[in-house]
Structure 1
Amino acid sequence: MQQIGKNQLSILIIIFLIGSTPLFELGIKAKQDAWIAMTVAAAAGLLLTVMYIRIQKRAPEAGLAELYMMHFGKWIGGAVGLIHACWFAYESMRNVRDVGELTMMGLLTLTPKWIVMLLILSVSAYTVSKGLEVFVRIVQLLFPVAALSYLFVILLLLISRLPDISRLQPVLENGIAPVMKAAFPDLLSFPFGQMITMLVFWKYVHEKKIIGRVSYWSQAGVSLFLILMNMLIMSVLGPELSSLSALPLLEVVQLIRLANILERLDVIVTLLLFIGLYVKMTALYMASVFTFSAVTGIPYRHCVMPIALVIYASSFLEANNTYHIWIGLDVTLKIVPLLQVALPLLMLAVGIRKKYKDAKIAV
């Protein structure tokens, strides 16, 4: 059986949750209070993770599919597991499409989109076929690159004196309502609600007792980082420009000018974009394969290519990038709480009821 250590779990959670999130100004509906919306969603996301950990502790050796079948029965639980496997594949497809669109917009404008998506998905499929341990080792190698790149960007922004704290004011100009509307369900669903993916991987952690502590601290660290990046982007661009830009962090980095020598740092943002999208895409793809395999009993390596074909084919269903973004931010984020919040709550309630009934029988 594949196993990963606590440090590997921590790094996987950090890179997975960060993904490409800092490149965008999430919660922009709250304007200059976007960072407050991010803070509220992060706190709610930690509560969600507490619920996921409680469920996982009932059967530490079980993955998400096994937990569904344990709580809802073989047939209903299996059907729900298949639905969730399809959803993981769908989320992975969104990242594949993002790579294609963003590569065409910013890098290889003359390269056909289908080639870019085929290449990145092929790399992801090869990684998935090698298993979780290999994937986590790759994430470990990418972690220092991503961490140093983000640190470098933040330092350059501060040295350039581009951030202006006045752009974050007035605080709560329109009250708390816009903040709550921006935080729920959108920011809770993405990125914090995606922690449910870890229910697939926690069973492979060697030291089961430390899963909760490592997950909480990793998620808390990511939350603080995302809030900081949100504030930085807003303090440089302001709410108007942030809302108009497709990639606000790219716009921010393009403003850096130091001694007429250090400029045009787009390559750093591009590097961060590909690292984040690759890790998130592969983790969701692997979660889909593992979940489908657990429900059907088919060896997971036999599921890799069929699911890859489904992901690749479905990445062409959306006509253009505008429609792709609309589906992702205005439709998907309204549906996904059913899987991230409603079903786990139902599992939690079913588990408590089963324990109560067992206790009554014992008495």
Structure 2
Amino acid sequence: MEKAKISGSQLFTLMMLFEFGTAFLLPIAIEAKQDAWLSIMFGMIGGFLLFLVYYQLYRYYPNLLLVDLTQEIMGKWIGRLFSFLYLFYFANLASRVIRDFGDMLLTFAYPDTPLFIVNALLMFVVIYTVSKGIEVLARSSQLLFILLYFFAISGFLLIVCSGLIDFKNLKPVLEGGIWLPLKVSLTQNVYFPFGETIVFLMILPYVKNMSKGIGLSAIGLTGINLMITMIINVSVLGVSLTARSQFPLLSTVQSIQVADFLERLDVFFMLTAVIGGFIRTSVLFYAVVIGTANLFKIKSPSKLCYPLGLVILFYSLSLANNYEELIQEGIKALPYYLDIPLQVIIPLLLLTVAFFKNRAKLKQSGVNLHKSNRHS
């Protein structure tokens, strides 16, 4: 680990921007139709439960990163296997985020620019930030958090003022019963974006005065923001257009027209997207760098930034042939092959083994204390 400490408020802004990063771009939970916002709410509740599992693991081993914690709990060989799996998972997620934003910028802003150039520009900014350490990244998140909320509130007020919102598009509520939004949340929303907070087990040991309330409040605020975003998207565009749109919030923002002169406010969306993508990629990339350094006992993690950054950059280009293929893979394959095992099954296994190990240690220390008292 690097010798650094961040505050609870910095962790809060990092977590919130990380989760909000790409989720607000996409029509998440739209399979639940007009009840998409309910599906996000159920996903948020699942995210609370998963974070409590991660937080309890941190409580058992507060000074260990995830890649060290797995070895402490499961032993050297199985633990190292789990560590490699998590490093691959974080690298895969970072590559997907880079690709998401590259495709978005090409589609709506730079259609004649090669994908490699757009991805490389974002990746090199991420590499530079991560090479400066977790404290610089955390301070950046505080500044960008304020900027993001300025854009979000301004955009919301403009949408309201333009008279685009029609709440009739949200009816009927629970048309197909509660099972559909619940099913969508259990197959998608719990894992993206809420379950991905497992990456913060690579950051929690750096936090001063850590409490579970910080993480739970960040997840709660993200969930509320995503619910509001989907309510606005469906209210403005309707279910059908929201489902067909690659980036429904952009379509909503493009619809804004106030007093016949205030329109074409795509820049609000683009700046918000770049802020979220930058923080999200940086957190994931930081986990890859610091995890690799710890696993291979490299004393200067910053030396790994450029080689690992180039690997992630080129991997992002090879993930899929087009954006539609990338999204379908993320919805249909990723949850079952990576998200559920690495966000749910392995953490629960680690927590179970850690619980029994710590209970055995407490019993042993109690026996030793009893013996010493008898001798004295």
Fold-level similarity (TM above 0.5): yes
Mapping of 1:168-207 within 5 angstroms? 168-207=170-209
> Quick check: which has more Rg, 1 or 2?
2
Q: CA deviation at 1:359?
A: 4.6
Mapping of 1:221-260 within 5 angstroms? 221-260=221-260
Partner of 2:271: 271
Partner of 2:312: 311
Partner of 2:40: 38
User: Which amino acid letter does the alignment assign opposite residue 309 of structure 2?
Assistant: A
User: Which amino acid letter does the alignment assign opposite residue 283 of structure 1?
Assistant: V
Change (3 A) 1:353 1:121: same
What's the TM-score once normalised by structure 1's chain length?
0.96
1:341 and 2:365 matched: no
CA-based RMSD:
1.3
CA-to-aligned-CA distance 1:14-64 (integer Å, 9 cap, x gap) = 111111212222100010010110111101101111111111011111111
Mapping of 1:99-178 within 5 angstroms? 99-178=101-180
Partner of 2:74: 72
Mapping of 1:5-16 within 5 angstroms? 5-16=7-18
Between the two proteins, the alignment pairs up a number of residues equal to 361
Identity of matched residues, %: 33
Q: Which runs of 4+ in 1 moved over 4 A?
A: 359-363
User: Which amino acid letter does the alignment assign opposite residue 345 of structure 2?
Assistant: A
Aligned partner of residue 203 in structure 2, secondary structure: helix
Q: CA deviation at 1:176?
A: 2.0
CA-to-aligned-CA distance 1:291-312 (integer Å, 9 cap, x gap) = 1112111231222122112211
Partner of 1:17: 19
Partner of 1:300: 301
Residue segments in structure 2 that go unaligned for 5+ positions in a row: 368-376
2 CA distance for matches of 1:232 and 1:151?
13
1:61 and 2:63 matched: yes
Q: CA deviation at 1:185?
A: 2.3
Selected match of 2:359 from 332, 356, 360: 356
User: Which amino acid letter does the alignment assign opposite residue 254 of structure 1?
Assistant: Q
User: Which amino acid letter does the alignment assign opposite residue 344 of structure 1?
Assistant: P
2 CA distance for matches of 1:75 and 1:313?
30
Q: CA deviation at 1:177?
A: 2.2
Q: CA deviation at 1:360?
A: 4.9
1 CA distance for matches of 2:79 and 2:132?
28
1:262 and 2:265 matched: no
Aligned partner of residue 189 in structure 1, secondary structure: coil
| 1:185–1:337 CA contact under 8 A, matched in 2 | no
2 CA distance for matches of 1:97 and 1:43?
29
| 2:290–2:301 CA contact under 8 A, matched in 1 | yes
1 CA distance for matches of 2:17 and 2:363?
45
1:281 and 2:290 matched: no
What's the TM-score once normalised by structure 2's chain length?
0.93
CA-to-aligned-CA distance 1:295-335 (integer Å, 9 cap, x gap) = 11123122212211221121122222222222222211222
User: Which amino acid letter does the alignment assign opposite residue 316 of structure 1?
Assistant: L
User: Which amino acid letter does the alignment assign opposite residue 311 of structure 2?
Assistant: V
Aligned partner of residue 333 in structure 2, secondary structure: helix
